[in-house]
Chains A and B, each alone.
Chain A
Amino acid sequence: MTTPSPRFLQSLRESQARSANEQILFSDRDWLLVAAFVQFLTALSPIHHYLMALRLSLPPGFAAHAPWLIGGLLGLAGSLMLLWWWALYAPYRAALTALLAYIAVHSAIALLQPQAVLDNIASKILVLTGLVLAVRTGWLRRRPQ
């Protein structure tokens, strides 16, 4: 038996690097699932406030934007779930769509309720960072070497 040639070792490293990158890609895909889960949780508070407003017959202005807010958050959560599935086949496009949808929905919510911009800011930053990471990994994989 002989020691393997440097060329053989180099080809082993290249194959291993491809597999390791695939693992990172699928780890970053999970950010879409995390984002969807966080959106579902974020929607619980407005749903609770809206139901309480209905039950206590509060003035209509109290929760005027609540249906839009709830619809936006639940719609975003459902979309992120679908994008998580789509990321199996097109990780870059799915992650980029998720990032744009996230920014669009939260910008619209900020316009409707400017006082709520800073609500759940930690989870927003976390999810945004994860989605940016997923886009970056997808882009690096898609870019020609």
Chain B
Amino acid sequence: MSSVVLRPTPPDATPDAGPRRNGGALVFIAAIMASLTAVFAAGICLQLDRPALVAPALILFGLPALWWGGCVWVAARAYPSLPRSHSVLNGALGFDIRCTCHGVASTVFFHPDGVAADGRLDLLVFLENYTSRQRVAEIRIGPHRGLGLDAPSLVRLHLAAGQAAVYVLPLAVAPGLAAGDHDLPVMLKVSLPAGAGLRLPGARRHLHDLWCPRFAVPFTLSSAPLKNSADLPPPVYRSLASVGEPGPRLDALQTVADLR
């Protein structure tokens, strides 16, 4: 397992922007709830003739309300100055994205999803950071004996704020794999080395944010490959979009196609 964090090429020098702490809708609701609880708790203390408890009740619930309210205030002030997301996965590429993980949209699939005559498959991991601060995506691929992955392999991929990228991992089918449909298990976790940040303007909203999305990536083996791939090309990690550039660079996908 590798602890090295891969950075996509070409490098993206977009700096982190916005506050470190989350100031989104959930924090806003938490601030409102804590404020109301503080008022109600103080009211109950007065009703029960316990004026000495009013101050502790206000401090207990009022301080978190103030803290969360402050986060919302800072986020609201920073939001207009944030760069706009290119929303590549949903927009230019037209992928069906179901969820995010700490603000990172992801999709994993084989292309093509049928095994070629040379027994090779390319696993494509598309990632897009919808937030204003960098992320490190930790991807656990496998195990799958039929693809030569006896143990899970771990890859750590860096994403700058608003960046979209694709990681391509060439795999070879083992000789004994039976014909039919197969699934490769893939798991994604995202860490926040520079804080949560804010969702960028233009990024798709109303996506479930999961702690650890799991994929069962399908592929079909219709018949035994004619020959086995002895030398697989090394994995590549290419940047597809940066918020510092005027538009997405889909020409990077052509290099993915050229790998075959």
Contact = CB atoms under 8 A, between A and B. Distances in A.
- Chains A and B come from one and the same complex: yes
A19 B253 contact: no
Contact of A18 (B109, B250, B253): B109
A85 to B, nearest CB: 15
A101 B32 CA distance: 46
Tell me the dominant secondary structure on chain B's binding face.
Answer: mixed
A8 B109 contact: no
Contacts of A15: 109-113, 124
A123 to B, nearest CB: 22
Interface residues of B, number: 28
Contact of A24 (B98, B253, B255, B257): B98
A9 interface: yes
Interface string B110-129: 11110000000000101000
A22 B250 contact: no
B251 A3 contact: yes
28 contacts: A1-B254, A2-B251, A3-B250, A4-B257, A8-B254, A9-B93, A9-B250, A9-B253, A11-B111, A12-B111, A15-B109, A15-B110, A15-B111, A16-B95, A16-B96, A16-B107, A16-B109, A16-B126, A18-B113, A18-B218, A19-B109, A19-B215, A22-B215, A22-B216, A22-B217, A23-B98, A24-B98, A26-B216
